[in-house]
């Protein structure tokens, strides 16, 4: 744990043990240099406190990169609530209220929204005590709602830029695209890809989701254990992080990786493994900014949903092209190229 904390380059970590539930609340504030730290609240069981901490620290840094690349005046942070697996709905709601009070106490230094394991309905509960520092509440409660649709639209357009780079045209018709995880973002991405006449493969671990997505014409199911060996044009990870690693990268049979999951690379060096294999990587923190951008823009800058989608699309297309150009010009990985843009902006130059 000590090594983990020492190696982190962020500003502050707030840790609270929630006695009534046994949950750990970790709020990692990576940078407030460009503005108050924004980042979702991730709520799930973790095998160890250290694993929860590692997730919070890495995700918070990604939020700094995400907002810096999108040129938004926000810093990066993330909250992880490591919960016991058997939390009752009542205990969970009470925990969210106590968490909201903590957010409120921080006075706006950290502002949150939905992430893995939390919904807009959860944001409504957190906002009871945490307002006005809670984004992505339900539309009925006056929030911008779910961030999934805007994230999916951003990824779709990012995949267009990837196709332009690989094939000389951004058209998706006939391209074979494998989506890992058909949840809030992946499920919508699959539908958008089909509307663009791509040929879609998908994988998921949830039986009900699999049944539902399989019904969509032109979409076929790939068992989770076959995902990394499946030939396709583009692999779109839309589930959890760390899936691009020393074990999976040598197996990939795709031309590019472009998906919404946060922290797809297990280690920074894995970007180099992808590059050596000639696989074009759309850095996660560039291509997945859509949700955060749309929700923050709608709630703080008065964007309509249509305006948000235009901002998301244009920003991701522009930043991805710039990333690919910079990587080619400097002969570095696309992840290093995007990181260097983000770090320059974070250092105030």
Q: Which residue from 31, 120, 22 is spatially nearest to 67, judged by alpha carbons?
A: 31
Pairing verdict, β 234-237 and 219-221: unpaired
Q: Does 292 bind ligand PPY (CB under 6 A)?
A: yes
Q: 77: which 2 tokens?
A: 């942070």
Q: Which of the stretches 34-42, 93-101, 155-163, 275-283 binds ligand PPY when contact is defined by CB under 6 A?
A: 34-42
Instruction: Determine which residue in the list 135, 228, 235, 324 makes contact with ligand PPY, applying CB under 6 A.
Output: 135
134 forms beta bridges with 112
Q: 102: which 2 tokens?
A: 């903590």
Q: Does 181 bind ligand PPY (CB under 6 A)?
A: no
CA atoms within 13 A on the CB side of 166: 22
Return the residue nearest ligand PPY (CB atom): 113
Give the C-alpha separation, 236 to 254, whole Å: 10
Cβ atoms within 10 Å of 198's Cβ, excluding its own: 25
- Is residue 82 helix, strand or coil? strand
Nearer to ligand PPY, 227 or 261 (CB): 261
Give the C-alpha separation, 129 to 98, whole Å: 8
Q: Does 186 bind ligand PPY (CB under 6 A)?
A: no
Shortest distance, CB of residue 63 to ligand PPY, whole angstroms? 6
**Of 66, 78, 253, 276, catalytic:** 78
Is 276 noted as a catalytic residue in this protein? no
Q: Does 143 bind ligand PPY (CB under 6 A)?
A: no
Shortest distance, CB of residue 238 to ligand PPY, whole angstroms? 12
Instruction: Determine which residue in the list 81, 230, 295, 320 makes contact with ligand PPY, applying CB under 6 A.
Output: 295
Instruction: Determine which residue in the list 100, 113, 145, 187 makes contact with ligand PPY, applying CB under 6 A.
Output: 113
Instruction: Determine which residue in the list 177, 193, 239, 296 makes contact with ligand PPY, applying CB under 6 A.
Output: 296
Shortest distance, CB of residue 66 to ligand PPY, whole angstroms? 6
Q: Which of the stretches 35-43, 45-53, 231-239, 266-274 binds ligand PPY when contact is defined by CB under 6 A?
A: 35-43
Nearer to ligand PPY, 113 or 130 (CB): 113
Contact call for residues 195 and 171 (beta carbons, < 8 A) = no
Shortest distance, CB of residue 124 to ligand PPY, whole angstroms? 14
Q: 113: which 2 tokens?
A: 């929204």
Shortest distance, CB of residue 54 to ligand PPY, whole angstroms? 16
Give the C-alpha separation, 132 to 99, whole Å: 14
Pairing verdict, β 280-281 and 256-257: parallel
- What sign does the dihedral 190-191-197-199 (CA atoms) show? positive
Q: 29: which 2 tokens?
A: 């504030």
Give the C-alpha separation, 29 to 22, whole Å: 23
Q: Does 38 bind ligand PPY (CB under 6 A)?
A: yes
Q: Which of the stretches 28-36, 183-191, 228-236, 289-297 binds ligand PPY when contact is defined by CB under 6 A?
A: 289-297
Q: Does 291 bind ligand PPY (CB under 6 A)?
A: yes
How far, CA to CA in Å, does 161 sit from each of 198, 257, 298?
15, 12, 25
Residues that bind ligand PPY (CB under 6 A): 38-40, 63, 66, 113, 115, 135-136, 147, 262, 291-292, 295-296
**Active-site residue list:** 78
């Amino acid at each position: 744990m000590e090594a983990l904390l020492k190696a982190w380059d962020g500003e502050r970590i707030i840790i609270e043990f929630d006695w009534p539930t046994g949950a750990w609340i970790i709020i990692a504030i990576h940078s407030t240099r460009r503005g108050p730290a924004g980042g979702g609240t991730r709520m799930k069981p973790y095998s160890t406190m250290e694993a929860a901490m590692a997730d919070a620290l890495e995700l918070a840094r990604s939020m700094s990169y995400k907002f810096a690349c999108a040129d938004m005046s926000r810093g990066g942070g993330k909250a992880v609530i490591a919960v016991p697996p058997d939390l009752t709905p009542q205990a969970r709601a009470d925990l969210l209220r106590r968490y909201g009070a903590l957010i409120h106490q921080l006075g706006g230094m950290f502002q949150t929204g939905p992430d893995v394991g939390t919904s807009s309905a959860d944001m409504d509960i957190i906002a009871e005590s945490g307002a006005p520092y809670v984004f992505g509440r339900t539309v009925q409660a006056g929030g911008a709602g779910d961030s999934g649709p805007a994230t999916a639209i951003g990824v779709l357009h990012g995949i267009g830029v990837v196709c332009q780079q690989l094939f000389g045209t951004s058209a998706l018709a006939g391209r074979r695209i494998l989506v890992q995880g058909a949840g809030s973002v992946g499920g919508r991405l699959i539908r958008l890809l089909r509307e663009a006449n791509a040929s879609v493969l998908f994988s998921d671990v949830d039986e009900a989701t699999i049944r539902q997505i399989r019904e969509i014409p032109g979409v076929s199911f790939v068992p989770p254990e076959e995902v990394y060996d499946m030939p396709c044009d583009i692999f779109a990870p839309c589930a959890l992080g760390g899936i691009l690693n020393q074990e999976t990268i040598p197996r990939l049979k795709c031309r590019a990786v472009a998906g919404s999951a946060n922290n797809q690379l297990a280690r920074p060096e894995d970007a180099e493994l992808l590059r050596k294999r000639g696989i074009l990587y759309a850095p996660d923190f560039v291509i997945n900014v859509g949700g955060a951008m749309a929700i923050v823009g709608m709630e703080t800058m008065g964007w309509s949903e249509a305006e948000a989608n235009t901002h998301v699309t244009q920003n991701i297309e522009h930043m991805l092209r710039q990333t690919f150009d910079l990587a080619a010009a400097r002969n570095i990985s696309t992840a290093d190229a995007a990181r260097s843009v983000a770090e320059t902006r974070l250092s105030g130059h």
